[in-house]
Amino acid sequence: MKIYLPCLLKTTNERKKLKQKKTEPSQKAKLILEDKNIFEGYLFGYHKSVAGEVVFNTGMVGYPETLTDPSYKGQILVLTYPLIGNYGVPQLNDSDDLPENFESNKIQVEALVVSENSAEFNHWSALQSLSDWLYKFKVPGLSGVDTRKLTKLLRERGTMLGKIQVENEKIDFYNPDIDNLIEKVTVTQTEIYGNGKRRIILIDCGCKKSIISNLIERNVQVVRVPYNYNFDNENYDGVVISNGPGNPVVYKELVEQTKKLLKKQVPTLGICMGHQILALAAGAKTYKLKYGHRGQNQPVREEGSNKCYITSQNHSFAVDSKKLPSGWTEWFKNLNDGTNEGLVHKKLPFKSVQFHPEAAPGPVDTSFIFDEFLKDVK
């Protein structure tokens, strides 16, 4: 068991600048989609062939946070903003503390696709270039791609499988939806953060660091446990089920564990994947979206009011709100496509949201969700 306190988080005073060197793209590679469309570009970062699900993100900033989000496990990420890497990459502390500038301690995407990778970077906190950072974690990048055309294709035909092929290396397409991806991103042992009065179990399905930060800022103790950990004999006041990658119906063991929480009427908050797991445990259904929601500009409306919030999102699946179990009602709805963005029980202390209330790199419009959850805990 590891125990952490908020005061142990590193500060930016420990950062230092390294000499920048401009590198020109050299080796060519291809992004091949399952519909046989091909996009050629130049490799940066690590040079190797990879396969995964090709998805896009509309965020203009925040690539250090985005690339370290465990929800992207198994995916080739296309960034729609045309210039990436211009502010470099800050320090990633190598200790056991929570990473200060990132959402986990390593890059989670299978590969990165951009229109243009900035070989030169300039920012007071920058330690290294985006290309050097990708190389360190053996993740390939592909630049010089018409990401506008690629994104339009994904919008029209939907998210699809793809592979980055280097020269004539043979590599098969890979569908991450059939795998247990959470097993690859969850913690391997219990970790404790903070020393607040309330004790919250955090089920780590691929938890973003900012979820932990938001909880300990609210004077609670966070007990982070592996997704398949049996905490029946633990003492706790509430449970948070975190975000994570993959298809929620794959995680039957976690759904069964969540059913126990509902039966015991334990105050529970589900976030992103946690929202889908909670819904399945309650008896609802999930389905795959055509191209998912990924970015920092998704508008949602709180049902029963005219309140609208701009949210950060990253998910491929959604909860079917047409046939909700008895006692449950919609909490939020997406104003772009009408999909469900949250559930709440009419009488019992169960809540969940599809978006990210911790929202790193932003916006933070919905951080009040943590306050609403802690009201149930108290």
Q: Is 32 helix (H, G, I), strand (E, B) or coil?
A: strand
> Which of 182, 206, 209, 210 minimizes the C-alpha distance to 357?
210
> Which sequence positions are flagged as catalytic?
272, 356, 358
CA distance linking residue 288 with residue 270, whole number of Å: 18
26-177 — its CATH code? 3.50.30.20
Percentage of the chain surpassing pLDDT 90?
79
Same CATH topology for 26-177 and 182-377? no
7 Cβ contact partners less than 8 Å away, ≥ 6 residues apart:
none
pLDDT of residue 325: 93
For residue 158, is pLDDT > 70?
yes
Q: Which of 2-11, 29-38, 198-207 has the lowest mean pLDDT?
A: 2-11
pLDDT-based confidence at residue 198 (cuts at 50, 70, 90) = very high
What is the residue extent of each domain of the chain?
Answer: 26-177, 182-377
CA distance linking residue 216 with residue 298, whole number of Å: 26
pLDDT-based confidence at residue 3 (cuts at 50, 70, 90) = low
What fold does the segment set 182-377 form as a domain?
A: Rossmann fold (3.40.50)
CA distance linking residue 59 with residue 311, whole number of Å: 11
pLDDT of residue 296: 85
H helix intervals, 207-300: 209-216, 252-264, 273-282
pLDDT of residue 364: 87
| pLDDT tens digits along 293-313 | 988 889 999 999 989 999 999
| pLDDT tens digits along 46-98 | 999 999 999 999 888 889 999 999 999 999 999 999 889 999 999 876 555 67
pLDDT of residue 7: 37
For residue 19, is pLDDT > 50?
no
pTM over 0.75: yes
Segment 317-340 shows an average pLDDT of: 95
For residue 17, is pLDDT > 70?
no
More confident: 9 or 181:
181
For residue 206, is pLDDT > 50?
yes
